Structure 1
Amino acid sequence: MDRRILKTQKSVMKAFAELLAEKDFNQITINEIADRADVSRGTVYLHYIDKFDLLDKCMDNYFNKLFETCMPLDDTNRLPSKYLIIHAFEYLEQHASIYTALLNNKGVPAFRKRMSAAIQESLGELVDSRGIDQEMSREVLIQFLSSAIVGVLEWWIINSLPIPAADIVKQLWSLLERFQVIPYFSDSN
């Protein structure tokens, strides 16, 4: 893709993310996005159908960045590896402003839902590959783990990272071990 197009899209996306941090999605206009990105309104429409399309592409972009950065290239070590969870929280800590905007903005409930679905999918693959106790429901285990991880992550981001990433993961991991969830997956730290 042409570097100028990428630069324009990056500028529009950055402007949109900044506006999301400042105000509710429903209050943001294409004119504001264009002004902030220092492009014309028509340029925004050349790349995005409307602000909903921009929101979808923004969520895709930041969601993909999170998972590409935090997931291994091979399938040998998937969630809930302690290392991967620490890596994810550290990445979120470094990029807190955009993820806070995506999780905290009342007009963007889809980001949390997308994150939860991706974690559930990864956990499902992990459960299928390693198995679980026959008395435990696969669906309940996956829902429990994903709700715990996403819930803690969301609380942590929305409350302005009150605990360092390594400490919050240590506490989350300890809780998972305490309720004997971790032995089903690995002994990895």
Structure 2
Amino acid sequence: MDRRIKKNQTAIKKAFIHLIAEKEFEKITINEIAERADVNRGTVYSHYWDKYDLLDKCIEDQLIHLMESCYSANATGPFPTKIPLLRTIKEIEKNALLYKTLLSIKDVPSFRVHLSRMINNRIMEQMEENKLSLDDLGKSIFAQFMSSAIVGVIEWWFSQSKPCSAEELTERLWSLLEMNRMILVEEKGSPIAEEQNEARRSAQWGIS
């Protein structure tokens, strides 16, 4: 890609994200985006059909970046592991303004939907790869539960001005997800003694 084109696209996207953080998406105009990016209106339209197309491109870029940065191609196990979850949260934290803005868009909740779908698809892929003994409906419900929980907690974390570190958030979130994973495994014929479960839960939450 020509460096000038790339520079313009970067400036336009950056200006757009800052505007979304300042005002409602529906009230943003192409003229405002162009002025903030220090380009003319025609330059914006030469790259994007309209602000909805620009929003879609911003979302697409960030999801691709998240997948490349956080999810290993050779991940194993029937569920996402703690490491990519921590990487995802830390990557989101590193670009806090961008992700907080995208997650908080009320008029067009595209990013939240796409992020949840990305995590959902990853969970489904790993369950298929590891031949988890659940029917299709069970897999779909479990993947939806997991992905919604992860995205919901990340949203809460931002809305509460990050009351804990990314590491602590990951540990606490993972302990909850792991509890549900163990329940699922037990229901499918791999029982674990209740005292072992209780000991694990106590250790995860610091209960003595």
Q: With structure 2 as the length reference, what TM-score do the two structures score?
A: 0.81
Deviations, residues 124-159 of structure 1 (Å, cap 9, x unaligned): 111111233448921222122112112112211233
Letter of the 1:55 partner, please give it.
Answer: L
What is the DSSP-based 3-state SS (H/G/I as helix, E as strand, rest coil) of the residue aligned with 2:164? coil
Cα distance change, pair 178–145 in 1 and its aligned pair in 2 (3 A): same
Deviations, residues 84-142 of structure 1 (Å, cap 9, x unaligned): 10111111111010101101021230111111111111101111112334489212221
User: Where in structure 2 are there 5+ consecutive unaligned residues?
Assistant: 186-208
Quote the offset at 1:76 in angstroms.
3.0
Letter of the 2:138 partner, please give it.
Answer: S
Q: How many Å separate the matches in 2 of 1:48 and 1:14?
A: 14
Aligned to 2:51: 51
Task: Count residues in correspondence.
Answer: 183
Q: Where does 1:5-16 land on structure 2 (aligned, <5 Å)? A: 5-16=5-16
Q: With structure 1 as the length reference, what TM-score do the two structures score?
A: 0.89
**1:80 and 1:123 in contact (8 A); partners too:** yes
Larger Rg belongs to: 2
Percent identical among aligned pairs is 44
Cα distance change, pair 160–90 in 1 and its aligned pair in 2 (3 A): same
Q: Where does 1:88-167 land on structure 2 (aligned, <5 Å)? A: 88-134=88-134, 137-167=138-168
**CA root-mean-square deviation:** 2.0
What is the DSSP-based 3-state SS (H/G/I as helix, E as strand, rest coil) of the residue aligned with 1:179? helix
Deviations, residues 13-36 of structure 1 (Å, cap 9, x unaligned): 000011011111101011110110
Aligned to 1:170: 171
Q: How many Å separate the matches in 1 of 2:81 and 2:38?
A: 43
